[in-house]
């Protein structure tokens, strides 16, 4: 951390940002958009996304061992583009992520098992316009642990909506990734100050295990 970074963090702390919200009640895991297209640097990927996918395998195994409710999200548009929206106007290539396009399939390493909820969405947030919040509530989830990509886009949007829906988001810093490291780091910092707890996987495992 540079001297300037330390000054920035001190300014936020002085103004009352960055308090810990904690892990409370039932815990759920949300894995956002770890699909083939985002694992491919020639499609929507790049940066540290491959490393985040690899690390998330350990997180998912831990969540399953603990019996957490697990949800995965995919961006899925209609084959004929009938549900095109402002998001796809901004990023037209997203319209190619249709149900049967291999690029929209969850990476094999993190493939859902029976009982895990797969959320299909056409906007960045996994909560916007989907039953995800109600699904978590129905299973007694109060804290949502978050992995996925990209940190500056769908992860951030989902974390913000989780907080606004009354959940306690915990972003696992080495289980989220972005196609560019600058936006990844900036958004981790900002989420930690305003909307979520942010920690590496080892810290989460230590906290849950103790």
What residues act catalytically? 154
Six token digits for residue 104: 């929209």
């Amino acid at each position: 951390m540079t001297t300037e970074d330390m000054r920035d963090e001190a300014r936020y702390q002085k103004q009352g940002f960055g308090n810990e919200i904690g892990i409370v009640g039932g815990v759920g895991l949300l894995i956002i958009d770890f699909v083939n297209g985002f694992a491919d640097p020639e499609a929507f990927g790049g940066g540290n996304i491959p490393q985040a996918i690899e690390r998330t395998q350990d997180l998912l195994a831990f969540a399953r061992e603990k019996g957490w409710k697990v949800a995965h999200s995919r961006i899925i548009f209609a084959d004929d583009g009938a549900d095109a929206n402002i998001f796809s106007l901004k990023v037209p290539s997203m319209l190619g992520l249709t149900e049967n396009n291999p690029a929209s399939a969850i990476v094999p390493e993190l493939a859902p098992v029976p009982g895990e909820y797969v959320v299909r969405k056409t906007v960045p947030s996994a909560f916007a316009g989907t039953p995800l919040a109600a699904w978590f509530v129905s299973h007694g989830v109060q804290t949502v642990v978050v992995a996925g990509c990209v940190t500056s886009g769908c992860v951030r949007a989902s974390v913000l909506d989780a907080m606004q829906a009354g959940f306690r988001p915990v972003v696992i810093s080495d289980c989220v990734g972005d196609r560019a490291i600058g936006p990844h780091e900036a958004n981790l910092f900002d989420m930690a100050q305003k909307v979520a707890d942010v920690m590496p996987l080892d810290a989460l495992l230590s906290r849950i295990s103790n």
